[in-house]
Amino acid sequence: MASLNEQLAILVENFTACDISDALLKLQKVPAGSAPRAGYLADLTPLSPITGRNDTARKIAAPATTFKFLNKSDIPPNIAVENPEKHGFPPGKHWVDYVGDFQDADPAKVGSIIVIEQPDEQYCAVTGGIMATRMKYLGIKAAVVGGRIRDLRELQGTDLPIWARATSTVGTGAEAKAGVRNVPISISGITVSPGDIIFCDPMEGVVAIPRDLLKAVLEIMPKLMSMDEQWGPAAVPAELVAERGRSNSPTSSTSLNFNYTLPTTKRKQQEQFVVIRIASSHAPSTLHRSRPIGAARKPTHNNPTLLPANMASPHRPTSPYAEEDPYSQYPPKRQWPPDMSKLSPKHQFRLERKYRRRAALKYARPKFIKAVTLAQWVIIGFVAIYAILFMNWDTKDTPFDGIRENFFAGLKSVFSTPPPPGPVKRSDEKN
């Protein structure tokens, strides 16, 4: 029989939180009238060492050490008062120092994950930077907080994986206090008992495995995964989905509509994307194929050395394909018109507005500047002529008298009608 350390290593290396939930759906008995939860601790987000769901942090699995926080004015439960050494918090010692009790009593040294329950109506944090540093020092593998935390920068500096429901800036003493430890607690509606296996998947979420079901979960998960491999992307009978019970919805299996294209040869199955489109009330999401089935791929600037289909390796990358890609090893300097097919409507509108403004400025600004410059010189010329002709109008014998006379004589000759020619003299004819 494998040890607990070996079982946890198998969990982390080979399975995800979704695989565990699939197994718990098969194994756990759900009371009548309640929906199956399959051990999923909902509404928890990784906040340390990386904030948000990611595929870079490591998966963690370890037994749970439970803590339950109460309102500041509440009286601790009887179990904490009657047995303070095991379930309470005797004076003179901080609650975070008790997280090492499980570590000291565990001969296998598998470590533990701290699981904390906080009342829903509280807005203070129950874990901060100092407490996380102490947990890391005591050898805790991770912390799962069904409440709020704070000091995110310090928490991420400890490199301790921490999952929480939300954050706060208020310390614990404002509203909460540590009430009881090593008792069953409730996180997101799931009961977590001391010793239950907590599986933290940074991409999928957190799942609690009852300790007595760990062996059965490890036995059934390979069978479920082999069923997935046998189905394949090309033939998924609806009755198998209903039999496995992934959805566990009241929707009958006959209402599922599977539209798929079956590849005729193994080579086509390697070269083409085949996507199953599921349309039902329970699973309304739709997967869109990346490119048309049967479309031939050709070298582009992204993959200029792509070989023909009969010479290419089956492990070549399957990047999205576009018919209009230029046949060049260098990407184009500028794409016009811009490709907006992958942008949201808001960003499409912003990009169109950007280029419209740019075009308007490019063609309108030079004409506008020329018109303004021309108007400026017209005004300057008018002022200069007005100053020369009409300044000192009442003064006689000025240097501009001759200029004024010549100017008005010229205007008269330009705008006046010349007299008609006179009769031809006979003396002119003789000459």
Residues at the binding site are 128-131, 150-151
- Nearest residue to 245 via CA among 282, 198, 203: 282
Tokens 């100053």 -> residue:
387
Contact in structure between 165 and 145 (CB atoms under 8 Å): yes
- Which two three-digit tokens encode residue 79? 């179990």
| Half-sphere exposure for 357 (CA within 13 Å, toward CB) | 6
Inter-residue contact 233 to 275 (CB < 8 Å): yes
Alpha helices in 159-282 (DSSP H): 214-231, 238-244, 266-271
Nearest C-alpha neighbor of 12 from the set 20, 21, 22: 20
| Binding site, annotated residues for Mg(2+) | 151
Take residue 343 and report the two structure tokens written for it: 């942008």
- Cα 353 off chain centre by: 26
232: alpha, beta or left, given left = phi > 0 and alpha = psi -120 to 50?
Answer: left
Both tokens of 150, joined, read 């704070």
Task: Give the residue ranges of the annotated binding site for substrate.
Answer: 128-131, 150
Query: Which H or E run includes 207?
Result: strand 205-209
Integer angstrom CA distances of residue 401 from 350, 384, 410:
65, 16, 14
* Omega before 49 within 30 of 0, i.e. cis: yes
Task: Let me know the angle formed at the C-alpha of 140 by 85 and 14, rounded to the nearest 5 degrees.
Answer: 130
Q: How far apart are CA 384 and CA 408, in angstroms?
A: 16
